């Protein structure tokens, strides 16, 4: 569990983030699982030169490589739109480390993972990202230790030992074979070596560019001894009890052993490179498959849009044809009206039944009565008629208007029209 004070500090640092609550929850989950990670707010400089204060997690994560646990230093920068956008991840090597460039880490330490490439705001989170890093770095370590400069404790030479070599400077003899490291108890190194051997199960090979290229270690008696090589029998200082026909019984390194060791090393190296190439190709194939899926979906959407546009185009053509027919009909009607005689207003409107004609006549007469009452009022106001004349005519017109409205109401009831 993370203390409340630490949660408050994290919330304060994430105050300007758009999704502060979600980001805070993910950060707390990461810190609860990996206490070696520290958080802070620092300025991040983008490739275009712009900078922004971003929240980051720095520290080490445990990575198991060949049954040994190593702590890899990393740094995770969270964008202010997290988790909508994927974070930026880097390997931060110490002074004793050097970046190992691979398909997952570039020379700047930037981390590239399929999980980051396929980042989903609703399903991806920081804890899962770190777990993917641990698994990936367990197979492909992102860093390695820098080689330390020190003097090798065993003889070295600038070339592989071959017959017909130079004279041994330690003994002054014309020996054709370079000395091989031995211990004080035996003139020849044991083969295969014991579990205490620190060279991974094989005796050390000569190393290039050393000042002790021809000097050999001495035996317990103080004399310089040389292991037999390439099955030659005449070697100064050689134990006469050695049987060259059975090199495995003496623990010496023969040409077959060197050949087998080189073949095994080449096979391992080729196997690793082939595996890396296969992983890279698989990642590219997955990316191409996703792109293909997106293109197929986009093609289906485009086809649906094209069909909809074709239907709309067909409907538009039909409407255009209808409008052209209506336009021609209107032109014919206008032409017929221009060539016809004067229309009688009383005959302009005809009804389909006597009841409707009675209703129409009553409505027209009622409207005329309404106009007559209005103009009588205007005449009274203008002083054209006196008040007594006005009242007399208004009384007559009002009685007539009442009867006309009663007839209209009766006709509408008989015709079944709305009241």
- Structural domain ending residue among the three candidates 145, 168, 187: 145
Q: Let me know if residue 260 belongs to a domain.
A: no
3-state helix, strand, coil in the chain (%, to 5): 45, 10, 40
Domain count, the chain: 3
Q: Let me know if residue 187 belongs to a domain.
A: no
> Is the alpha carbon torsion for 71, 75, 78, 79 positive or negative?
negative
Q: Let me know if residue 231 belongs to a domain.
A: no
Q: Let me know if residue 137 belongs to a domain.
A: yes
Same domain (yes/no): 117, 58: yes
Same domain (yes/no): 116, 24: yes
Q: In whole angstroms, give the CA distance from residue 271 to residue 310.
A: 57
- CATH code, domain with 136: 3.10.110.10
Specify the pLDDT at position 147: 76
- Structural domain ending residue among the three candidates 145, 178, 212: 145
Same domain (yes/no): 12, 80: yes
Same domain (yes/no): 113, 26: yes
Same domain (yes/no): 31, 106: yes
Q: Let me know if residue 9 belongs to a domain.
A: yes
Q: In whole angstroms, give the CA distance from residue 273 to residue 306.
A: 49
Q: Let me know if residue 70 belongs to a domain.
A: yes
- Structural domain ending residue among the three candidates 145, 163, 186: 145
- The H or E element that residue 76 is part of is strand 68-78
Whether the full predicted model's pTM is greater than 0.95, yes or no, is no
Q: In whole angstroms, give the CA distance from residue 61 to residue 35.
A: 9
Specify the pLDDT at position 238: 38
Three-class SS state of 89: strand
Same domain (yes/no): 28, 121: yes
Specify the pLDDT at position 209: 38
Q: Let me know if residue 262 belongs to a domain.
A: no
Same domain (yes/no): 286, 403: no
> 295: domain range?
268-306
Same domain (yes/no): 379, 299: no
Same domain (yes/no): 395, 283: no
Asked if 251 contacts 190 with a C-beta cutoff of 8 angstroms, the reply is yes
Same domain (yes/no): 141, 16: yes
Q: Let me know if residue 183 belongs to a domain.
A: no
Same domain (yes/no): 291, 403: no
Same domain (yes/no): 277, 377: no
One digit per residue, pLDDT tens: the chain, 419 residues? 778 888 889 999 998 899 999 999 999 999 989 989 999 999 998 888 888 899 999 999 999 988 888 999 999 999 999 999 999 999 999 888 899 988 899 988 999 998 998 898 888 899 999 999 999 998 889 998 887 765 445 444 444 444 444 444 334 444 433 343 434 333 334 434 433 333 344 334 343 333 333 334 333 333 333 344 334 333 344 343 434 444 444 456 678 878 888 888 898 889 999 999 999 999 999 999 999 999 999 999 999 999 999 999 999 999 999 999 999 999 998 888 888 777 777 777 777 888 888 888 999 999 999 999 999 999 999 999 999 999 999 999 999 999 999 999 999 888 888 75
Specify the pLDDT at position 339: 81
Picking from 403, 389, 358, 393, the residue whose alpha carbon sits closest to that of residue 372 is: 393
Q: In whole angstroms, give the CA distance from residue 123 to residue 136.
A: 20
């Amino acid at each position: 569990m993370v203390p409340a004070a630490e949660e408050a500090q994290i919330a304060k640092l994430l105050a300007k983030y758009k999704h502060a609550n979600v980001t805070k929850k993910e950060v707390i989950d990461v810190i609860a699982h990996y206490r070696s990670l520290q958080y802070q707010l620092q300025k991040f400089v983008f490739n275009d030169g712009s900078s922004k204060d971003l929240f980051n997690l720095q520290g080490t994560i445990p990575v198991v490589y060949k049954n040994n646990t190593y702590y890899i230093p990393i740094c995770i920068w969270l964008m202010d739109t997290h988790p909508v956008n994927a974070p930026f991840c880097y390997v931060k090597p110490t002074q004793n480390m050097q970046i190992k460039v691979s398909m997952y880490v570039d020379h700047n330490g930037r981390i590239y993972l399929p999980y980051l490439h396929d980042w989903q705001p609703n399903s991806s989170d920081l804890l899962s990202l770190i777990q993917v890093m641990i698994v990936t770095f367990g197979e492909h370590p992102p860093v390695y230790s820098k080689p330390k400069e020190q003097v090798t404790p065993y003889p070295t030479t600038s070339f592989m030992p071959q017959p017909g070599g130079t004279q041994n400077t330690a003994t002054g003899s014309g020996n054709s074979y370079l000395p091989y490291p031995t211990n004080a108890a035996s003139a020849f190194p044991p083969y295969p070596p014991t579990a205490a051997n620190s060279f991974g199960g094989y005796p050390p090979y000569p190393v290039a560019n050393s000042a002790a290229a021809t000097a050999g270690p001495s035996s317990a008696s103080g004399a310089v001894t040389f292991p037999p090589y390439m099955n030659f029998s005449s070697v100064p200082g050689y134990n006469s009890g050695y049987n060259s026909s059975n090199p495995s019984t003496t623990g010496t390194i023969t040409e077959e052993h060197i050949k087998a060791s080189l073949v095994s090393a080449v096979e391992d190296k080729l196997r690793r490179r082939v595996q890396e190439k296969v992983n890279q190709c698989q990642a590219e194939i997955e990316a191409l498959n996703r792109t293909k899926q997106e293109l197929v979906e986009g093609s289906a959407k485009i086809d649906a849009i094209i069909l909809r546009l074709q239907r709309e185009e067909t409907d538009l053509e039909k409407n255009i044809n209808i409008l052209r027919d209506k336009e021609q009909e209107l032109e014919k009607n206008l032409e017929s009206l221009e060539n016809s005689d004067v229309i009688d207003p009383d005959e302009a409107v005809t009804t389909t039944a006597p009841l409707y004609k009675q209703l129409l006549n009553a409505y027209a007469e009622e409207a005329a009565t309404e106009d007559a009452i209005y103009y009588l009022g205007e005449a009274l106001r203008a002083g054209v008629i006196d008040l007594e004349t006005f009242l007399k005519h208004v009384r007559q017109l009002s009685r007539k208007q009442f009867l006309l409205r009663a007839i209209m109401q009766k006709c509408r009831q008989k015709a079944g029209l709305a009241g």
